[in-house]
Homo-oligomer: A and B are copies of this chain.
Amino acid sequence: MIEVWGFKPRLQTCEIGIRMTSTSAQPVRLSQRWQWASRQAIGFLMAQAVDNPQVLSLAAGLVDPQSLPIAETREALEHLFADPVRARHALQYGTTAGSGRLRHQVIEHFAGLEGSTVSALGLRPEQLVLTTGSQQLLSLVGEILVDPGDIVLVAAPTYFAYLGTLEGLGARIVPIETDADGMRLESLERVLTELDRQGELSRVRFVYSVSYYENPSGISLSAERRKGLVDLARRWSRAHRIFVLEDAAYRELRYDGPELPSLWSCDPSRQHVIYAQTFSKSFSPGVRVGCGILPDELVRAVCDRKGNEDFGSSNFSQHLLTEVFDRGLYRPHVSLVQQACRAKRDTMLAAAQRHFGDLPVVTWVRPHGGLYVWMSLPKEVATGFDSRLFQVAVKEEQVMYVPGELCYAGPPEGRRRNEMRLSFGVQDATGLEEGMRRLANAVRRVLE
């Protein structure tokens, strides 16, 4: 029996009703959706960071501050403002789907990543929607595809912020086992078979996959499994279509290892894969530009929904990015980011070896890209917010990490509780070394 989880168990109407009567006014009735969305781990993490400002954070998913594109942005803006017509367009309303020029440029750039051309791939800028980071694209896809009680399949572990988004939609989220090559396809097939047997196949909406250097595990789905995953989605699409939502946020943060084809490229029908990417990691999170390349039938639906939410992301940011592409500033900057982050990854891995190397049951993944090292502690060492390790780390050793259990869907008892996501994005070399030293101290104290 597959336990699909996340929908009913989160109902907490009474609790809200009571919690909200603390003022003298009448109680506030918040929506069911808010209730599903209301337990965001990220909020707790940020509160911890605010309450403990001296803590060295290996938790924050920020990008390397030193390689942020200050000079590139400045140059792009100078050129934007050199032409009053373009400047005026940047300051006026844009359209819901985003700037036509940037959509064109991003499609070209995407084709380049695919080692091909826009025409060879049969791409059109109209298939691309620009969003507020790729997070908004992921959220919009959930909005248009998921009704409460619908099922989404995800890797275990996977990106915890999106688990929150899916819970906010009332989705039932089913975790699929992973190994060193990513999501295990036989596990995925077994789950689909079981759901079919339970009469639940019609509720399955999509498989979510962070296809490059998964956040948090750093693992990429192997080349062989990519095709297999798309084939599975197609084969199990019976009365309705099952999509693959490919989150390629870290694709351009590749430091070594093989160049892997996208899941999108494994779907020549162009009908099953929704491709999400962002310029937050490769350029600047502050400009908040992400995008999705969508099967034709979903473009209008996503734009309808986005129209209701904000009718368009920052047009100014989009025009800024257009100048960045026009001036040829994007690719050199990505190389610089890769170089900086590769060095930081190596620093963290060396520090892990130095400080944890003599602890025999501590292991970690050596990622070929992305921003995270995923570390497993001895089974008995829990890492969660309520664990002794988290307390010792934050309060005594003054270092913070993301507890691994947050990255698992499904009932708490099924989650691994002895893992940590360690980010090398935000700290410099000294901070990484010191952070790992403190963390190892905390682990040793708990092990003693």
Q: Contact check: which of B68, B84, B135, B310 meets A132 at CB < 8 Å?
A: B310
Q: Known contacts A271-B23, A316-B286; is A135 also within 8 Å of B31 by CB?
A: no
**How many whole Å from A164's CB to the nearest CB in chain B?**
6
Task: Note all chain B residues with C-beta closer than 8 A to A74.
Answer: 81, 87
Which one of A112-120, A138-146, A185-193, A435-443 is at the B interface?
A138-146
Given A29-B241, A43-B307, A93-B286, decide whether A297 and B135 contact each other with a Cβ distance below 8 A: no
Q: Is the CB of A143 within 8 A of B33?
A: yes
Shortest A324–chain B CB gap in Å is: 12
The answer for the CA separation of A296 and B22 in the assembled complex, in Å, is 12
- Identify which of residues 307-329 in chain A touch chain B, using a CB-to-CB cut-off of 8 Å: 307-317, 319-320
A443 to B25, CA, bound (A): 52
Please encode chain A, from 276 to 320, with 1 for each CB lying within 8 Å of some chain B CB and 0 for all others.
000010001111100000011110010111011111111111011
Contacts of A312 in B (CB 8 A): 132-133, 288
**A64 nearest in chain B by CB position:** B92
Cα–Cα distance between A241 and B24 once the two chains are bound (Å) = 11
Interface pair A93/B42, CB less than 8 Å apart = no
Chain B neighbourhood of A197, CB < 8 A? none
Smallest CB-CB separation from A39: which chain B residue? B304
Q: Please measure, in the bound complex, the distance between the C-alpha atom of A93 and the C-alpha atom of B168, giving whole angstroms.
A: 22
- In the complex, the answer to whether A25 meets B271 with C-beta atoms within 8 Å is yes
Does A136 sit at the interface, judged by CB under 8 A? Answer: yes
Task: Pick from A3-11, A232-240, A383-391, A406-414 the stretch touching chain B.
Answer: A232-240
Question: Are A31 and B307 touching (Cβ within 8 A)?
Answer: no
Encoded as 1 (CB less than 8 Å from any B CB) or 0, chain A from 80 to 102 comes to: 01001001111111110000000
Q: How distant is A370 from chain B, measured CB to nearest CB, in Å?
A: 16
Q: Is B73 in contact with A311, judged by CB distance below 8 angstroms? A: no
Whether the Cβ atoms of A68 and B88 lie closer than 8 Å is yes
- Is A340 at the interface (CB under 8 A from chain B)? no
Contact present for B288 and A20 (CB under 8 Å)? no
Are B135 and A285 within 8 A (Cβ)? Answer: no
Q: List which A387-435 residues lie within 8 A (CB) of chain B.
A: none
Contact of A311 among B93, B161, B271 (CB under 8 A): B161
Task: Tell whether A350 is near chain B: CB-to-CB under 8 Å.
Answer: no
A224 nearest CB across to chain B (Å): 24
A241 — which chain B residues lie within 8 A by C-beta?
25-29
Residue of B nearest to A319 (CB): B286
Contact mask A142-169 → B, CB, 8 Å, 1/0? Answer: 0111110010000000000100110010
Q: Report A408 CB to chain B, min CB distance, Å.
A: 18
Q: Which residues of B are found within 8 Å of A81, using beta-carbon distances?
A: 70, 73-74, 77
A314 in contact with B311 given A29-B145, A91-B287, A143-B33 (CB within 8 Å) = no
**Complex Cα spacing A65 to B62, Å:** 36
- Which residue of chain B has its CB nearest to the CB of A297? B28
- On whether the beta carbons of A26 and B297 are closer than 8 Å, the reply is no
Say whether A285 contacts B315, CB under 8 Å. yes
Taken residue by residue from 325 to 350, chain A's Cβ proximity to chain B (1 for < 8 Å, 0 otherwise) reads as: 00000000000000000000000000
B70 close to A87 (CB less than 8 A): yes
The listed residue (B20, B73, B272) touching A91 by CB distance below 8 A is B73
A34-B143, A311-B42, A316-B287 given; A28·B298 CB < 8 A: yes
Give A69 to B144 CA distance when docked, in angstroms: 36
Task: Check B92 against A145 for contact (C-beta < 8 Å).
Answer: no
* Contact partner, A239, options B26, B34, B315, B319, Cβ 8 Å: B26
Residue A198 lies at the interface, judged by CB distance under 8 Å to chain B: no
Which 4 interchain pairs have the tightest Cβ spacing? A314-B314, A286-B315, A25-B271, A91-B286
**A contacts, CB < 8 Å to B:** 20, 23, 25-34, 37-38, 40, 42-43, 46, 61-63, 65, 68-70, 73-74, 77, 81, 84, 87-95, 131-133, 135-136, 139, 143-147, 150, 161, 164-165, 168, 205, 237-241, 269, 271-272, 280, 284-288, 295-298, 301, 303-305, 307-317, 319-320
Q: Can you add 11 more A-B contacts, CB < 8 Å, to A288-B313, A316-B317?
A: A30-B301, A33-B144, A40-B307, A43-B303, A62-B93, A90-B286, A91-B287, A92-B284, A93-B285, A131-B310, A288-B314
